[in-house]
Chain A
């Protein structure tokens, strides 16, 4: 049985962050959520012409990292919209890429799985599961001073990912490895695929590692407390929708957004949350409409 739960490793640490930091994190998560909610609705009404990988449900991890770990090179994977947007990637170019236009962030050649933006040092992903991890490590070897490597729980099983984690540990390279552990390789859960934990592997390679759930304050606090890189964070997240496409197979194990909203009410930030949501929703919808009208 899986031991996943929304409170795994979660710390009561929201007080460690200023209101401004908390609202910045929330704003970025809101951008990701409304962007993908609009996209999901669009996908339900029309054929987008290519596979699209939505990260709805997982957006708080990207938003929290963008606040706590800024100014890094980013090597993401196929489910990357939230990282792209949280770190300030060009929303117009992302929409164009998703609409299969030459003006997209990959010139219409990458699609949803391969997005990149040089202005935020986000490098493209080839689509080959996990190959961004050794490339991220190579960038650190080559001199990049702060590298974020994002992979999923399935990519953690790729031999070249394991080799890369070991190499980063051996050479003490400045890489923050983040695993978006949604417990699924398409539909196959982790405990069917393997009997080991990636954090045990990372620890045995000689780097600090942690398993936590995607509570954004816990993510930010964990990053803040990192003493040295490389470091491995396995973050349990819930993908709300299909591997590719807008459908779902029932409710997720937990809804991080609802949990965050509750915490924001406890922090008496509900009014500001409403303002942010209203502003972001309006911005995202008008931006999407503007691009769709140009088609």
Chain B
């Protein structure tokens, strides 16, 4: 059985690799491995002139981590620590809105979750240490990732996937102030920061604040791929005979 095709948004940054130092479309390979291990086929969607035509061939889409979302998009002035990539925001917001309109299965990770919140009319805390008084969500010394629990709300889609409680890694300095029209369904019990949001009116629209691609816990990817597979087989049935061979 052919695998569902999952689009992954990419960073567009000056990158150094091998002997090269060049502007690149770049994404940690851990995201790719998470999708492939979970039975999907990853394709990378570099930011491009805003247009949603690329969604046509996708069965699901993942909004990945990266720079801060431009606070202008939720009507605020930038905090001194806020670092934005407006081209990425512009391209990804277009893709996100079109993906939602098409009920394409969506998983947002870290920045991707924050982008979902902004698209749903919410707002972000621009620098969590100012609000929470601690650096636990992005350690300033020691290991790269922080670590904390997340408690899930029973009855939510995310609870079906992750259960009551999950231990997560953490590498972010912004967080959700207001989830907008998304439903908050997971919190860090230490400081009540929202860690998981979803839109239950969609087949699969979930955002998480941590980085499951950098763990061994791929349940969220499996859930995304599963929703994408169902969509793919549904599309094939409607077409009558599956995707016609090229």
Q: Do A and B bind each other?
A: no
B-side interface residues toward A, CB under 8 Å?
A: none
